[in-house]
Structure 1
């Protein structure tokens, strides 16, 4: 955009986002795209967030953002009211009063190339990336990514490396498997990943990094000689994607783009009991 050009409108930015993350790439249950906002409103500042929650709305209003680009949809589950005495209603009323539009790119951004898992893989220095579960349409798209570490590490070392490279949260990074296991090939999946444990096993990777792993699926996976597991806070696996979205938006439009570092992971305290010995990676 030249110095004399008019700023983009909400519609301009939405159309560009829809081209990068087509809505028909989203899962059928997902709710992506523009949630609210005046299509003709000029956009001079964008805030990229993982979650649209009161804290990130506070940030958007304080910074004078015209548009929030979020990963998680605010209205994923149906609601029968947006009354201001409800949680989601309060958020919606605040955004409308502040003239802040809200856009969500969720599973359509997960499968994009580049997408959420690409950003996670790059934080871990993985190279030669390919999809963990390729999309039928090809184009390098699909769920998750598989890549190679520049140099092998044992699992204990790789766990510490992941913790140093990913956004810090109270939950930290925990690993399952032999601490001495050699890690060369790694699969990653931004967000909840236990639906793809069998895909990681079939891919023959040494470790699988994702969020929200549950006790029984993880235990059974390891009992079947599956790859080592690294369980990371959900927010931390998806926060890296915001940097890539922000960089792309700055290249597309002459607007200010901020990335939110507000930690929206619900877990805020991590402690060991006095009878336990903490195991350091």
Structure 2
């Protein structure tokens, strides 16, 4: 996706302001750390890289491409730090970005709760159509559209086996792949999804009368007890994979927001969605 015009380049502060029109930081959870991590607000931005994780492989990609700004979903420093010395992994990321003149910005739970947001992108990717409703609504939203997770219906009913395969084919390939709990011949029509770790929403998925819940990082005991109690089937994906579909949507919203500020053709930025797999797991082994 690229937009090229002869208009003056955007300052970082302008790009951030446009992006925050779509994903206001005030929507983030109180424990979260969103916003500008490093970068000069007056620096010029021509290239923006979207990625899930602010890790060294993404910095490699950003520097090689010449990105002026990296927008990640996950925070680099979620908890307080007292040093960003380059002898730590996080410190090295900061130093490399600053040396390259590349800013880093995070949109995390504010992108999760947005409508559309992270779970909307996941829902569309796995085949949900029509209106989507939040799995865990944001009580501050009078319209009832924002919140964590989404619930909707498939474009056509299918058995769990086929649906799980659809999820596996639609999301980025990872070492762990997709895990399934439940009767593989179960009919699936109504689906709940939540990008990222979602076992805190198991009860909400049951209350929503979903046939299956798609999320990530499901733990053994909650999942086992949930299935034993007759809850919806479960499809567990890699955390990185379930949030990756939002990157294209976030990039598109940024271009649109910048264009609204300057009129048609006024975006004047080139955006790229990283395809670097930043899942923590690199390989699985099975007993033969």
Shorter-chain TM-score: which interval?
Answer: over 0.9
Q: Which runs of 5+ in 1 are unaligned?
A: 275-281
Aligned residue pairs total 274
Q: Deviations over 1:254-274 (max 9, x none)?
A: 211010011110111123211
1:198 to 193, 203, 206: 203
Superposed CA RMSD in Å reads 1.2
How far is the alpha carbon of 1:3 from its aligned partner? 3.7
* Pairing of 1:165-176 with structure 2 (within 5 A): 165-176=170-181
SS in 1 for 2:101: coil
How far is the alpha carbon of 1:5 from its aligned partner? 2.1
Q: In 2, Cα distance between the equivalents of 1:133 and 1:87? A: 34
2:29 to 23, 27, 30: 27
Give the aligned partner of residue 149 of structure 1: 154
Give the aligned partner of residue 113 of structure 2: 111
Q: Deviations over 1:64-105 (max 9, x none)?
A: 000000000001011111111111111101111111111000
Give the aligned partner of residue 267 of structure 1: 281
How far is the alpha carbon of 1:160 from its aligned partner? 0.7
* Pairing of 1:85-96 with structure 2 (within 5 A): 85-96=87-98
Q: In 1, Cα distance between the equivalents of 2:9 and 2:26? A: 28
Q: Which runs of 5+ in 2 are unaligned?
A: 259-266
* Pairing of 1:1-281 with structure 2 (within 5 A): 3-127=5-129, 128-136=131-139, 137-139=141-143, 140-251=145-256, 252=258, 253-274=267-288
SS in 2 for 1:6: coil
Give the aligned partner of residue 277 of structure 1: none
Q: In 1, Cα distance between the equivalents of 2:247 and 2:137? A: 23
| 1:65–1:2 Cα change, 3 Å | closer
Q: In 1, Cα distance between the equivalents of 2:68 and 2:4? A: 20
Q: TM-score, normalised by structure 2?
A: 0.93
Q: In 1, Cα distance between the equivalents of 2:191 and 2:5? A: 45
How far is the alpha carbon of 1:26 from its aligned partner? 0.6
How far is the alpha carbon of 1:250 from its aligned partner? 2.8
Misfit runs of 4+, over 3 Å? 1-4
Give the aligned partner of residue 263 of structure 2: none
How far is the alpha carbon of 1:2 from its aligned partner? 8.6
Q: In 1, Cα distance between the equivalents of 2:75 and 2:4? A: 33
Q: In 2, Cα distance between the equivalents of 1:73 and 1:138? A: 28
Q: In 2, Cα distance between the equivalents of 1:76 and 1:82? A: 13
